[in-house]
Chains A and B, each alone.
Chain A
Amino acid sequence: MRLSFSWLSDYLKDSETIEEKSYKLNETLTEVDGIEEVKPSFEGVYIGKILKLEKHPNAERLRIAMVDIKTKKLKIVCGASNIYEGMKVPVAIEGTALYDEAGDRFLITKTKIRGEESEGMLCSPRELGISKDHSGILDLSFDGTVSIGDLLDPIFTDKVLKIENKAITHRPDCFSHEGVARELAAISGNMVKPLSFETDNSKFTKTSAIDKDISIFTNEVFNSENEIKLKIDGYTRRYSTITIKGIKIKPSPAFIQARLIALGHHPINNVVDLTNYVMYAIGQPLHAFDADKTGYNFHIRTAKNGEKLKVLDSNTYELTTDDITISDGPTPLDIGGIIGGYESGINNDTQNVVLVADNFDPSMLRRTSWRTGIRTDAVTIYEKDIDPNLTINGLVAFVNLYNELYPEDEIAVSTILDYYPITFPEWKEVVISHELINKSIGEDIKLDKIEKILSVLGILIIKSEEGILTLNIPSRRTDLNTKEDVVEEILRLYGYSNLPVRQYFYKLQEVKAYKGREEEIKALNFMANTGYVQIETYLFADLGLEEKLSLSTSPVKIKNPINIESNILKSSTIPDLAKIASRNLKLADSGKFFSFTRIFTLNAGKSQEEKVLSNVYFDKKASNSTLYYSMQKDLVDALIAIGVNENDIKFTTKETFKEKAVALSELESAAIFIKGKYAGYIGLSSSLLEKTFDMDKSAVVSMLKFENIVEASKKDYTLQPYSKFPSISFDISMFVNNDTFTEDIIEAIKSRNVKDLVGIKSVDTFQKDNRAVTIRLTFNNLNKTLERTEVESSVEGIQSFLKDQFKDLKVR
């Protein structure tokens, strides 16, 4: 939002600079984005009056004007057709500088045009940089606020305060100069000066009620007949409307044009400019229809699907039943609260106007604005949910301002037709105690200080007894409804920097951490200490890529992804790991990385997330089996460090998982089971994965489902009974067929349930033509020393059992 400082100053009693005001706004309301100097695109343009017009002797289209600029009279040759004797015009004289649209400066000099001397130039709005209008000279005849001989420069010189809209969405009253001025005044302990056109507007008499929702109000200005017939289907909080007859379209006064330009607008004509001016002054959007085009029957309804309307920005929009429209008969006239229709707009021939100040359901306007992409200042204000009590002020401000500027027009203003089904009270009552205020703030603020703060904010103190304050809050403060809101207001104006710092005492209480945090930190530290570097990854992933690698079974899709590569939440960490391997294979010979992140699946229409620990290891100099066994050892060590029992860990090729076969090499990967439950995998990259990520060497990757690990880790450390007698270990070394895996041999031995056999561990394996496996068997008894002979016979039994089970097994 842009705020003109000269405009704000109209309301203020003190004379602080814009920098001082900006600092104070920063401290108490919101951050000021910046201060911008607004300068005219001319230097030294005077206001003059055309005394006499003569034909140019040598050119048909040129005329010679005698112009009075008070200090002297000038002879100026001019080609514009709209000039007339008695017209007030902007005059550039010898030495005046003008800037063109590219910012290039050129000086006006005395010159001869077609043989006639010209001592200056009369300027069009475009030549002054006011608007794009170049159809004629800017007509200032109707501007009673400027006099012959005045410089135009100071009117177009201003400073603008820029405020981020987002920061004050809760303060619809601050989307206006009056609102921000009220804040500025309150910060300095003052109230604002009321402006002439906004004052004395409330003395209306209710003459009649059309029905329970529509009333008619009149006073000495608003007194001609109101011919409007309203039919309203709903969605409308308030619709206040008048007719004005005898309006004359002309340029608005220079100061209004200048202020609109400073806010970033192009002036159009007096009626359109005044509706905008009133909106920026008091924060109530207004809309003017050409009554001769619309007629007087207004129907406020939702649009029909497919109904089309060309609006003021010259675009045509297709409407839906979610949009509010005002229509006269079947044709829509505008999109309610958003933008006016093109056909019903004000033009140079308009004489009679229907002026509307309304208030709609903000969420409906917001949806329409989002769908159509139309962002007018009116929507920006409406969607903040403004006070419905403002509509009458809007109409009155327009009429007062028009009469003040153009008394000669003698316009006829009708009574106010006011649809207002549910009245919002003009004052809201809040009762609050002095004690609560101070306890909430944590500081002892005196009652008279509090009362002073409240009164400059325009809050009435109805009663103040024994520290209990009964307050009346004006309805424009839609943000102040509760005691807490009032506390904030007081604190805000008391000054945050005036608060002390104090230590306070906590109640003694258990401090908890989320489930698994302890194991998580153990795992992270273990991996870091074992030589793995942690990476940080995004949770978004590319569905196409995941599908290519068969990783997505039930992805969680993002409805509004930031780009196509981030259109789901990832269901596997393989792409993250492959990406980092690929990147670092180009930089280094070897690398070990891990990530602790989350993976997602859609389950019964809901996103389900799991924490996973993922590792990747590559080494250009190492064989694939070395890579595999090295990481496998790290994983097992980590699991044990976290608290998983080594006997509960199993690597198996018998189970499938989605990463197997496509992303990982099928015969070189294994599922990890902990306590009989799937808990992750380890495996070598597949050639497809390597091709996809441009990896010139295989890498081993792994994933552990963290919740399963937390579940399986030891929670208590009770001492288990152990034998005082020595145990006996035997190693069985054997060759097996390549289809037989260590897990098969261990499972087979386990299935024998051999007496006193307490440990079955794989201790070595290597690959020649066949696979060599060494298994260590440990025997122990709680109550006695085992005889070597009985153990030996058990081992022999196991060996012959294994030979039976596995065809090609040879004991070494």
Chain B
Amino acid sequence: MDPIYAQYISDISSLDELASKISSDIKESVKKEENIQSIYLSRKGLITGLFSILNEIENKTGSSKREIGQVLNTLKKEAENQSNIPGADKPKNRKELFDPTFFQIGQEGRLHVLTREKILTEELFMRMGFSIIDDNFVDSDFNVFESLNVPANHPARDLWDTFWTESGEVVRTQTTAFQNHLLVEAKENDSFPIRAIQPGLCSRNEATDARHEHTFYQVDGLYVSKNSEKRVSVVDLISTLRTFFSQYLQKEMNIRIQPAYFPFVEPGFEFAISCIFCKGEGCNVCSRSGWLEIGGCGMTHPNVFKKAGLDPDEYSGFAFGYGLERMAQLKLNINDVRLFRENDIRFLNNS
């Protein structure tokens, strides 16, 4: 018999006495954050050891082995509960004093709201099979106007107040400027249909106020197909816009088109989406119309095909364009377009 256990029971006269002694020792151990597992439950632990000297305990207390076994099993359970995760060690002492509940947030960085909306727009269009284009901000007269059916001195040039560089180049007034090179590339590589968008900065020589900015992001889209594969229709255009805006705004959207003149499309339309604030019933934001005017669209003009050396009888397509700032304003309830570029930290951190 292990002398340690003999000593442990030396002054015990009843089973109750033994039980309360073990129980209070466990509590003491818990208090001291001792290793319950090794002191009581392991192969050399106290309770395991007492099980091996049942005869001696029987003699000391006068209780039957069966009764003693039951009591020891209860105490074993108690010890196991105190050791929580079976088999886990509890550190006897802290290595270092610290507060595990304390937490802090690192310095907050953030993407600009226009970047976030631009990336989202690109991702959604990519899912719909549209490629993403990013051309230069300064472009040629040919790309910005001439190839888009806006010849020199045409009154349609009044639609945009254009910035010119002294070297005779054009600050693009619309990202539609990518159409000609997309058409030429697709022709050279025979890679129709074309599906592409270009969200990019544009500038127009206009005074800035709460509703107007001379610099802004325009999202411009183009879809062109060979008629032998598919003739592109107005219904295709509306369906594309509807699919995109429904995903973008996470709501089922309707599209309304109204006639409008843009030289590079025929027919040309202005398009509006269902008001996102009032579900079409009419509110202040949509001037009680139920519609929010977003941008322009239409079917690719035959002259745009001709300028790219394509036969307008063999190809058809649609184009659309709208301002990213306006979408962001509607989505985030930003009432002054100038806020986007004032770079006030209070705006940057909250938009």
Instruction: Name the prevailing secondary structure of the A interface residues.
Output: mixed
**Stretch touching chain B among A54-62, A228-236, A271-279, A435-443:** A435-443
Encode A161-204 as 1/0 by CB contact (under 8 A) with B.
Answer: 00000111111000000000000000000000000000000000
Chain A residues lying within 8 Å of B254, measured Cβ to Cβ, are 501
Cα of A514 to Cα of B349 in the assembled complex, Å: 29
Within 8 Å of chain A (Cβ to Cβ): is B107? yes
Which of B230, B256, B340 is A536 in contact with, Cβ under 8 Å? B340
Contacts of A562 in B (CB 8 A): 163, 205-207, 214
Distance of A189 Cα from B348 Cα, bound (Å): 54
Contact of B138 among A363, A504, A588, A609 (CB under 8 A): A609
Given contacts A384-B155, A607-B165, contact A528 B258 (CB under 8 A): no
Interface contact A534-B258, CB-CB below 8 Å: no
Min CB distance B243 to A, Å, is: 7
- A369–B321 Cα distance when bound, in Å, is 31
Known A-B contacts A521-B119, A559-B165, A609-B137; the reply to A499 vs B341 at CB < 8 A is no
Determine whether the beta carbon of B129 is less than 8 Å from that of A506.
yes
For chain B, residues 147 to 167, give those with C-beta under 8 angstroms from any C-beta of chain A. Answer: 152-156, 158-159, 163-167
* Closest residue of A by beta carbon distance from B262: A170
Shortest Cβ gap from A50 to chain B (Å):
51
**B152 near A363: Cβ-Cβ < 8 Å:** yes
**Chain A positions within 8 Å of B205 at CB level:** 560, 562
B53 at the interface (CB under 8 A from A): no
CB distance from B146 to the nearest CB of A (A): 14
A502 B167 Cβ-Cβ under 8 A:
no
Instruction: Given A440-B231, A442-B233, answer yes or no on A531-B126 (Cβ-Cβ < 8 Å).
Output: no
Nearest CB of A to B166, in Å: 4
Q: For residue A535, which residues in chain B have a CB less than 8 angstroms away from its CB?
A: 112, 343, 348
Which A residues are CB-close (under 8 A) to B126? 511, 513
**Chain B residue with the shortest CB-CB distance to A506:** B129
Are the CB atoms of B136 and A609 closer together than 8 Å? yes
What's the minimum C-beta distance from A479 to chain B, rounded to whole angstroms?
9
Contacts of A36 in B (CB 8 A): none
The reply to whether the CB of B283 lies closer than 8 angstroms to some CB of chain A is no
B49 in the interface (beta carbon within 8 A): no
CB pair B138 A506 closer than 8 Å: no
Say if the beta carbon of A722 comes within 8 Å of chain B. Answer: no
A527–B254 Cα distance when bound, in Å, is 38
Q: Which residues of B contact A2 (CB under 8 A)?
A: none
Contact of B155 with A511 in the complex, beta carbons under 8 Å: no
B235 lies within 8 A of A607 (CB): no
Q: Does A553 contact B (CB under 8 A)?
A: no
Q: Report how far A396 CA is from B25 CA in the complex, Å.
A: 123
CB distance from A506 to the nearest CB of B (A): 5
B195: chain A residues at CB < 8 Å are 506, 509, 511
Q: How far is the CA of A166 from the CA of B262 in the complex (A)?
A: 10
Residue A482 at the chain B interface, CB threshold 8 Å: yes
Q: Does the CB pair B234–A440 fall under 8 Å?
A: yes
Is A524 a contact of B159 with CB atoms below 8 Å?
Answer: no
Pick the residue among A362, A531, A557 that contacts B165 (CB under 8 A).
A557
B83 adjacent to chain A (CB < 8 Å): no
Q: Are A607 and B343 in touch, CB under 8 angstroms?
A: no
Most chain A CB within 10 A, of B136, B257, B259, is at B259
Of B165, B242, B302, B340, the residue contacting A484 (CB under 8 A) is B302
In the complex, what distance in Å separates the CA atom of A596 from the CA atom of B205? 23
Bound complex: CA of A361 vs CA of B51, how far in Å?
Answer: 117
Specify which chain A residues have a CB less than 8 angstroms from the CB of B215 in the assembled complex: 538-540
**Shortest beta-carbon distance from A261 to chain B in Å:** 28
Q: How far is the CB of A300 from chain B (nearest CB, A)?
A: 20
**Which range holds the interface residue count of chain A?**
35 or more
Number of A-B pairs whose CB atoms are under 8 Å? 229
B244 at the A interface (CB under 8 A): no
Q: Across the interface, which residues of A come within 8 angstroms of B270, CB to CB?
A: 31
Shortest C-beta distance, A545 to chain B (Å), equals 17
**For the complex, is B134 an interface residue (Cβ under 8 Å from A)?**
yes
Say whether A598 faces chain B, with CB atoms less than 8 Å apart: yes
Chain A 385-417 interface mask (CB, 8 Å, partner B; 1/0)? 100000000000000000000000000000000
- For residue A611, give the distance in angstroms from its CB to the closest CB of chain B: 9
In the bound assembly, the distance between CA atoms of A27 and B269 in angstroms comes to 10
A536-560 interface bits toward B, Cβ cutoff 8 Å, 1 = contact, 0 = none: 1111100000000000000011111
Whether A511 pairs with B131 at a CB distance below 8 angstroms is yes
Checking A488, A527, A600 against B267 with a beta-carbon cut-off of 8 angstroms, the contacting residue is A488
Per-position contact with A for B245-284: 1 when CB-CB < 8 Å, else 0? 0000000001111111101001111100000000000000
The answer for the CA separation of A507 and B128 in the assembled complex, in Å, is: 11
Verify B203–A539 contact, CB threshold 8 A.
Answer: yes
- A534 near B110 (CB under 8 angstroms)? yes
Whole-angstrom CA separation of A416 from B234 in the bound complex: 48
Interface positions, chain B 222-249, Cβ under 8 Å from A, are 229-231, 233-236, 238-239, 242-243
- What B residues does A609 contact at CB under 8 A? 136-138
User: What residues of chain B lie closer than 8 Å to A171, measured between beta carbons?
Assistant: 261
**Known contacts A536-B114, A536-B340, A509 near B193 by CB under 8 Å:** yes
CB distance B109 to A533 under 8 Å? yes
Given known A-B contacts A442-B236, A502-B235, A506-B129, A560 and B111 have beta carbons under 8 A apart? no
Assembled-state Cα–Cα distance A583/B348 (Å): 13
Residues of B near A507 (CB, < 8 A) are 193, 229
**Is there a chain B Cβ closer than 8 Å to A264's Cβ?**
no
Given contacts A497-B256, A502-B239, A513-B126, contact A484 B266 (CB under 8 A): yes
A600: chain B residues within 8 A (beta carbon): 137-138
B133 within 8 A of A: yes
Write the A735-777 contact mask toward B (1 if CB under 8 angstroms, else 0).
0000000000000000000000000000000000000000000
Q: Quick one: which of B122, B156, B207 contacts A169, CB cutoff 8 A?
A: B156
Q: Is the CB of B115 within 8 A of A492?
A: no
Inter-chain contact B235/A587, CB cutoff 8 Å: no
* Given the contacts A482-B302, A513-B122, A531 and B108 also touching, CB distance less than 8 Å: yes
Nearest CB on A from B200, distance (A): 10
The answer on a CB contact under 8 Å between B243 and A537 is: no
From known contacts A169-B158, A609-B138, infer whether A539 and B201 are also in contact, taking CB-CB under 8 Å. Answer: yes
Instruction: Report how far A434 CA is from B188 CA in the complex, Å.
Output: 32
Whether A592 touches B233, Cβ cut-off 8 Å, given contacts A496-B257, A584-B345, A587-B345, is: no
Residues 581-619 of chain A, each 1 if its beta carbon lies under 8 Å from chain B, else 0: 001100110111100101010100111010000000000
Asked if A525 CB lies within 8 Å of chain B CBs, one says yes
A506, B128: Cβ atoms closer than 8 Å: yes
A600 and B169 alpha carbons, distance in the complex (Å): 13
From B128, B299, B343, give the contact of A440 (CB < 8 A).
Answer: B299
Instruction: With both chains docked as a complex, state the minimum distance between the C-beta of A441 and any C-beta of chain B, in angstroms.
Output: 5
Instruction: Name the CB-closest residue of B to A576.
Output: B343
Report B-chain residues with C-beta under 8 Å of the C-beta of A151: none
Closest to A529 in B: B109
| B71 within 8 Å of A (CB atoms) | no
Q: Kindly provide the distance from the CB of A776 to the nearest chain B CB, expressed in whole angstroms.
A: 28
- Contact flag A443-B235 (CB < 8 Å), given A528-B109, A557-B165: yes
Instruction: Please name the 3 residue pairs, one residue from A and one from B, whose CB atoms are nearest each other, closest first.
Output: A442-B233, A442-B235, A488-B267
- Since A487-B299, A537-B341, A605-B167 are in contact, a sample of 14 more A-B pairs with Cβ atoms closer than 8 Å, ordered by chain A residue number, is A28-B259, A442-B236, A484-B267, A484-B299, A496-B258, A496-B269, A507-B229, A511-B195, A535-B112, A538-B215, A558-B164, A558-B165, A561-B163, A583-B344
What are some 7 contacts across the A-B interface (CB < 8 A)?
A166-B261, A482-B266, A487-B267, A488-B268, A513-B132, A534-B111, A558-B171
Q: Which residues of A contact B (CB under 8 A)?
A: 26-31, 166-171, 362-363, 366-367, 383-385, 439-443, 482, 484-485, 487-488, 491-492, 496-497, 499-504, 506-507, 509, 511-514, 517, 521, 524-525, 527-540, 556-562, 569, 580, 583-584, 587-588, 590-593, 596, 598, 600, 602, 605-607, 609
Residues of B within 8 A of A (CB): 106-112, 114-115, 119, 122, 126, 128-134, 136-138, 152-156, 158-159, 163-167, 169, 171, 193, 195, 201, 203, 205-207, 214-215, 229-231, 233-236, 238-239, 242-243, 254-261, 263, 266-270, 299, 301-302, 312, 316, 340-341, 343-345, 348-349
